[in-house]
Amino acid sequence: MSFSLDVKTDLLNFNSNDEIANKLEIESMIRVSGEIGILPVKLSLTSNNSGIIRRFLSLVKKYYKVDTNILKRVIDRFDSHTNYTAEITEGADKIIEDLNLFGDASKYKKSIEEIGMNAYIRGAFLVRGSVNDPNARSAHLEISSTNEEEILFIQRIMNEYDLNARITKRKTYLVLYIKARDAITDFLYRIGCKKIMESYQDTIITKVAKTNAKRSVNLTLANQDKTNASAKEQLKYIEYLEYNYPLQNLDSKLLMVMKVRKDYPDYSLMDLLDVIHEEYDPKLTKSGLNHRFRRLKELAIEHKNPSN
């Protein structure tokens, strides 16, 4: 079972007694994915999810006296994909009139408020939406339709919620999408998918924690590689000075740094500084320690290449 199907199954259990919200969900389903017949007058909605068809008809029958029929059609594919079509014949004219389906919007849509907005985008997502698994590499939720006005309207609603919804064209239809995981979580919560939303959020938190832990390990390894490379270079110059330079001419502070580095070849500068503070010089700074190592390098290079 796909994650999108899990989400829609959860949504099918959402119930509301708000008449306006329920009518807005019906209107959204029809405008985004339904068809209106003229001769004879009828309404139809097709989906590969029989539960969505049953929800649509259940909402319709709650407010309108209609005659309905469910048609089943098997698509000739390798997976024997099945489509279900809800047809409304007698009574369809009353729905068309009440929801002003030949116009741009019903009276409910024109004065839409937050509960209605949530119902509207819920209907659109049920009939033409999808969302990928939270464990996927990238997050993606989309709603598609050939109805440009509806896509723009739904985008407006979603962006009133700061979901940063964008639109792209794919073949002959438009796709409204969001890609931020926190925006997808907010969307799922608003349309009433609370159970899956909590699971989605928990998965994201776990994934982020694992990513941060991995990043921390990688950073630690990178820092250790950098420390090892730096220490190796310092030891190279120290070894050269010990064999080729009159050590009696070196400042005692430089000799101390040479000894500590040799005693602790794998330590970072901060770790070396802790040793120095405890055993030699509690006032030495990281900048001062860096300066002493640079001075040892300069002495080694100058002694090896006196002409320079």
Retrieve residue 220's tokens. Answer: 């630690």
Sequential pLDDT tens for the chain (308 residues): 588 898 999 999 999 999 999 999 999 999 999 999 988 899 999 999 999 999 999 999 999 999 888 887 776 655 567 889 999 999 999 999 999 999 999 999 999 999 999 999 999 999 999 999 877 778 899 999 999 999 999 999 999 999 999 999 998 999 999 998 889 889 998 999 877 766 666 666 566 566 666 676 666 666 666 777 888 888 888 888 888 888 888 888 888 888 888 888 888 888 888 888 888 888 888 888 888 888 888 888 888 877 55
SS3 (DSSP) at 14: coil
Q: What is the pLDDT of residue 57?
A: 94
Ordered DSSP codes for 236-302: HHHHHHHHHS-GGGS-HHHHHHHHHHHH-TT--HHHHHHHHHHHT-TT--HHHHHHHHHHHHHHHHH
Q: Is residue 178 a contact partner of residue 165, using CB atoms and an 8 Å limit?
A: yes
Q: What is the pLDDT of residue 79?
A: 58
Q: State the CB neighbour count (10 A cutoff) for residue 167.
A: 15
Enumerate domains of the chain plus CATH numbers: 3-208 (3.10.28.10), 217-304 (no CATH)
Cα 77 to its chain centre, rounded Å, is: 32
Q: In what order do the strands lie in the sheet with 68-74?
A: 35-37, 42-47, 82-88, 68-74
Q: Is residue 68 a contact partner of residue 55, using CB atoms and an 8 Å limit?
A: no
**How many CA atoms within 13 Å lie on the side-chain side of 162?**
2
Nearest Cα residue to 200 out of 188, 214, 191? 188
- What is the model's pTM? 0.66
Q: Is residue 83 a contact partner of residue 73, using CB atoms and an 8 Å limit?
A: yes
Q: How far is Cα 79 from Cα 68, in angstroms, rounded to an integer?
A: 28
Q: How far is CA 188 from CA 24, 163, 165, 296, in A?
A: 18, 11, 14, 62
Q: What is the pLDDT of residue 213?
A: 62
Q: How far is Cα 195 from Cα 193, in angstroms, rounded to an integer?
A: 6
Q: Is residue 57 a contact partner of residue 70, using CB atoms and an 8 Å limit?
A: yes
CA torsion through residues 175, 176, 181, 186, sign: negative
Q: In what order do the strands lie in the sheet with 173-178?
A: 129-131, 141-145, 173-178, 166-170
Q: What is the pLDDT of residue 200?
A: 67
Burial per residue of 242-276, b for 16 or more beta-carbon CB atoms within 10 angstroms, e otherwise? eeebeeeebeeebebbbebbeeeeebbbeebbeeb
Q: What is the pLDDT of residue 31?
A: 96
